[in-house]
Amino acid sequence: MLFETLKLYPSWDIEKTAIPQRSRLYHLEPIGIGTPYVESLTGYVQRIAHEHCVTVRRLTITEIAPLMGKEAKLLDESISKVFGTGRDRTAFNGTGLMATNLVGAMSALTGRLDLRYLTLLPWAQVISKRGLLRRHRAWCPKCYQQWHDNHTSVYEPLLWSINTAQVCPYHHQPLQEQCPYCHQRQLTISGDSRTGHCNKCGKWLGNNRYKTVVTSQIKSEAERNRQLNVANNLGELVAVTPTLNYPPNFQKLSNTISTYILQVLKSSIPAFSRQSGMNKATIGLWCKGKVIPQIDNLLVLTHYLEISLLDFLTTDVLLADSKNTCLEPELNVVKQPRKSYKHLDLERKQVLNVVLIEVLKEYPAPRANASKVLLITDRIKTQRKISYFWLDLFSKA
């Protein structure tokens, strides 16, 4: 009789596998984080809608609105109650509360924790939101066409939404703000937005075979170089955002401005205002930490100081005796000696009073023009001499 040998097989693990939490929408990775051409938050919303084969309007009303405290039943198929008017929608890529709310909603829907880098939120303490973002959509047709021809994702870079960025840093041509077909400007994001297409007529904006509508002329090579330098400075700023260990502080920025003016340049605030052409009161408010500088003023300031915008906002100025650098403008101004005025004695005052009374008796009254003033002055001098003559005569008698 043959004995069968028993084999020991590995036991089964009947415990349930832990399934990671699923996101409501696709865990779509943003484009270009850590580069000058990082994607904008409004552009990311458009790509999410395209990946789910729905319009931005439908995505906003059914998914985004409830997370932003809006009831979908009350929206009546309009996203204006969620995104606001055209002027308000530019703020979604900026530094304020609207950008914070949209980042929170999209992070909850996609499970992404890096969506704040698609905005300028990390720079909220050192860059004013006033004049920061353009009110209308802007784009580079050559970038659109290049991405389309290379079969890569077409998207909306954050750099295009910044107001002071006027040229494409790669193709060196002005950014467009009007559709070449319907000649209309477009909102930053709308219910019918499609990346690379006109929000009004739906035409493709990347085909550069049409006659380009140039909205901003670059008249000289120097102006072109200046605008390219601005675009490069802004590109460096958005590229370094994910690597910041802590957000820049406004108090530190105000100390930096004071240190550069008063110690590096060895100048006073009024003198620096005259040299740079910037407003003296504005510079003083920066130094005192009362006003956050606007992006265009920061670019003018850094251009004058010959330092990049990124270094100016992030680099420590290590100088001796840097405490209390924000001095009052008058402390560094050489005070001019006051002019000394000769006071009239009582006798001269009486004579001058008699002359002025005689002048006031004239009819019609003398007009206050230059010739009349000179005439009255000569008359006063003449009558003063006559008065002094009679005074001397009576004193000798």
CA angle 127, 114, 68 (to 5 degrees): 80
Q: What is the mean pLDDT of the chain?
A: 81
Q: How far is CA 133 from CA 45, 162, 220, 227, 248, in A?
A: 18, 5, 25, 16, 20
Residues 6+ apart with CB under 8 A from 201: 179, 181, 182, 184
CA angle 48, 51, 57 (to 5 degrees): 55
pLDDT in tens, 63-78: 998 898 776 555 566 7
Q: Is the dihedral of CA 353, 357, 359, 365 positive or negative?
A: positive
For residue 364, say if its preceding peptide bond is cis, omega within 30 degrees of 0: yes
Residues 6+ apart with CB under 8 A from 8: none
Mean pLDDT in residue range 338-355: 63
pLDDT-derived band at 53 (thresholds 50, 70, 90) equals very high
Q: What is the pLDDT of residue 272?
A: 83
Spatial CA neighbour of 166 closest among 119, 214, 236: 214
pLDDT in tens, 142-174: 999 999 999 999 999 999 999 999 999 999 999
Mean pLDDT in residue range 137-144: 95
Residues 6+ apart with CB under 8 A from 320: none
Beta strands per DSSP E along the chain: none
**Count, residues in the chain:** 397
| Alpha-carbon span 210 to 196, nearest angstrom | 15
Q: Where are the domains of the chain?
A: 41-123, 250-332
pLDDT in tens, 110-119: 999 999 999 9
Tally the C-alpha atoms within 13 A of residue 155's C-alpha that lie toward its C-beta.
25
Q: What is the pLDDT of residue 246?
A: 83
Q: What is the pLDDT of residue 306?
A: 87
Phi, psi of 161 (to 5 degrees): -90, -10
Whether the predicted pLDDT of 393 surpasses 60: no
Mean pLDDT in residue range 364-385: 57
Report the CATH superfamily, name and number, of domain 250-332: lambda repressor-like DNA-binding domains (1.10.260.40)
Q: What is the pLDDT of residue 215?
A: 43
pTM: 0.74
pLDDT in tens, 192-242: 899 999 999 999 999 755 444 444 455 578 888 899 999 999 999 999 999
Whether the predicted pLDDT of 55 surpasses 90: yes
- The residues pairing with 197 across neighbouring beta strands, listed in sequence order, are 204
| Alpha-carbon span 346 to 283, nearest angstrom | 49
8-state DSSP, 167: B
pLDDT in tens, 273-326: 888 788 888 888 888 888 999 999 999 988 888 889 999 998 876 543 444 444
